[in-house]
Amino acid sequence: MIVKSADFICSNTQISKLPPPVKPEYAFIGRSNVGKSSLINTLTGKKGLAKTSQTPGKTQLINHFLINEGWYIVDLPGYGYARASKSEKAKWDKFIHTYLDKRESLQCVMVLIDSRLEPQKIDVEFCNWLGEKGLSFVLVFTKADKQSSVKTDQNVAKFRKAMLATFEEMPQFFITSSETQLGREEILAFISNINQH
Ligand code: GTP
Ligand code: MG
């Protein structure tokens, strides 16, 4: 898919104020600092589109970006931010869970996983929650440029094992890097394929 246009539409804290659910939409979610905003910029080819930061917790709102005037990428605040208070975490959970559960135009949840790490409980639990809700999702392993492909493959294999404790098969997955653009074409093709059906 060629990305001809990518435009920031709105930031929201209120689900009632989201754009009308008439265009297919793809939500990018994962632990704080996993690289959601960076990946969105790489996919769209627009560097400053989604705000990135070395400090976790940068994205605080539901951000809608309209791509090729036909579909949305949604940048969500990260979960598992260690320095957030308990009540902030609970608020995040409720807000994001409501959005994911109720958004009719949501086609697929893109769950970002740091490829450098062994399976993290919070990621596995989040995938299990998506499974319980019957929401379709794929795994996107990020920051693959930061280590050897052997190491990445090892962590993916461990994640597969963790998934097989709950799921019948490993969900579809992509290995990516926002630095080298690894996985970019595959993700765009995946989305394009869903949009056409
Ligand atoms: P929050 O909005 O805080 O939840 O973070 P985020 O998941 O949107 O992460 P963000 O894209 O802001 O990236 C966090 C940090 O990781 C930044 O310093 C990025 O430059 C870096 N980063 C993201 N993706 C990659 C990647 O593929 N490779 C490398 N080397 N660094 C990356
Ligand atoms: Mg972000």
What the chain holds in terms of domains, given with CATH numbers, is 6-195 (3.40.50.300)
pLDDT of residue 40: 96
Closest by alpha carbon to 29, among 117, 153, 137, 169? 137
What radius of gyration, in Å, describes the C-alpha atoms of the chain? 16
Indicate the pTM of the whole model: 0.95
List, for residues 168-194, the tens digit of each pLDDT value: 999 999 999 999 999 999 999 999 999
> What number does the ligand 1 atom closest to the CA of 34 have?
7
Q: Bin 33: left if φ > 0, else alpha if -120 < ψ < 50, else beta.
A: left
Helix, coil or strand: residue 52: coil
pLDDT of residue 14: 85
Answer whether 170's CB lies under 8 Å from 160's CB. yes
List, for residues 92-124, the tens digit of each pLDDT value: 788 889 999 999 999 999 999 999 999 999 999
Residue 135: pLDDT band with limits 50, 70, 90: very high
Ligand nearest to the CA of 31: 1
pLDDT of residue 58: 63
List, for residues 63-90, the tens digit of each pLDDT value: 999 999 999 999 988 887 666 778 877 8
Is any ligand 1 atom within 6 A of the Cβ of residue 34? yes
Residue 154: pLDDT band with limits 50, 70, 90: very high
Nearest-angstrom CA–CA distance, 33 and 29: 10
Q: In the predicted model, what is the mean pLDDT of residues 124-141?
A: 97
Is any ligand 1 atom within 6 A of the Cβ of residue 35? yes
Closest by alpha carbon to 122, among 153, 92, 87, 154? 92
Closest by alpha carbon to 27, among 69, 82, 79? 79
Is any ligand 1 atom within 6 A of the Cβ of residue 179? yes
Q: What is the whole-number distance in angstroms between the Cα of residue 143 and the centre of ligand 2? A: 14
List, for residues 30-59, the tens digit of each pLDDT value: 998 999 999 999 999 999 998 887 776 666
Answer whether 6's CB lies under 8 Å from 45's CB. yes
Q: What is the whole-number distance in angstroms between the Cα of residue 24 and the centre of ligand 2? A: 21
pLDDT of residue 57: 64
H/E stretch holding 96: helix 86-102
Which string of DSSP letters, residue by residue, matches 11-40? EES-GGGSPPTTS-EEEEEEBTTSSHHHHH
pLDDT of residue 91: 80
Which string of DSSP letters, residue by residue, matches 98-166? HHHHH-TTEEEEEEEEETTSPPPHHHHHHHHHHHHHT--EEEEEE-GGGS-HHHHHHHHHHHHHHHHTT
Ligand nearest to the CA of 30: 1
